[in-house]
Amino acid sequence: MAQKEAQGVAEKRKGRRGPSSVIGSSAAGCVCAFLSIYGVGGAALSGLWQLGFVASFCTKLSDTVSSEVGKAYGKTTDEEIPSLAYIGVEHWSRYLVTSFKVVPRGTEGAVSVEGTVAGLLASMLLALAGFYMGEVSVPQAVICVLASQIANLGESLIGAVLQDKEGFRWLNNDVVNVINISLGSIFAVLMQQVLFQNWH
């Protein structure tokens, strides 16, 4: 935390999570769990709710891991600063998803190669766990991973284009989390229905 504060990328409240953060991170998964438990839509939809449940947490884990790894290890040689590029000095930075320009760590909508790869691996690991627990099939595990990455890209776009902008001050990290994780679930369900409905 001291390192994050020194570099200006520390979370509010010294990283402590409040109720809104917990709700934002689990809302989509809880909705899918309740729909599955109470058999909403019958047996035909039960598998979709389970898929949405796993996809929601794949999305959340991928987002968290990519963000933390990106802040800690995401680095590049900034060719826009000749003095640094010439001597080969690396400094911590990320790329803005809308323009791929190098921006400081902590910038909303910024991504790093290291963080993206770590987030992808985390999503794959959780999807694999979902498969071994019998929650999803192999094709559905693949869907969870794909949906999580698409949702996280969407979150980065929202951060870059709207977050902290005039008229969108209400769009804080907790709200963006709800949108991101909900999109992960929705994308997974839609992909199952549209692309892989014949896979079992």
> What is the reported pTM?
0.77
pLDDT digits (tens, 9 = 90+) for 19-74: 777 877 888 999 999 999 998 988 879 999 999 999 999 999 999 998 888 777 76
Are the C-beta atoms of residues 28 and 52 closer than 8 Å to each other? yes
**How many other CB atoms are there within 10 angstroms of residue 103's CB atom?**
18
pLDDT digits (tens, 9 = 90+) for 72-82: 776 653 333 34
**pLDDT tier, 88 (very low <50, low <70, confident <90, very high otherwise):** very low
Give the mean pLDDT of the chain.
78
Residue 165: which residues within 8 A CB-CB, separation 6 or more? Answer: none
Q: What is the dihedral of CA 114, 57, 18, 14, to 10 degrees?
A: -20
Residue 131, both tokens: 């498969």
**pLDDT tier, 92 (very low <50, low <70, confident <90, very high otherwise):** very low
Are the C-beta atoms of residues 139 and 168 closer than 8 Å to each other? no
Q: What is the pLDDT of residue 61?
A: 94
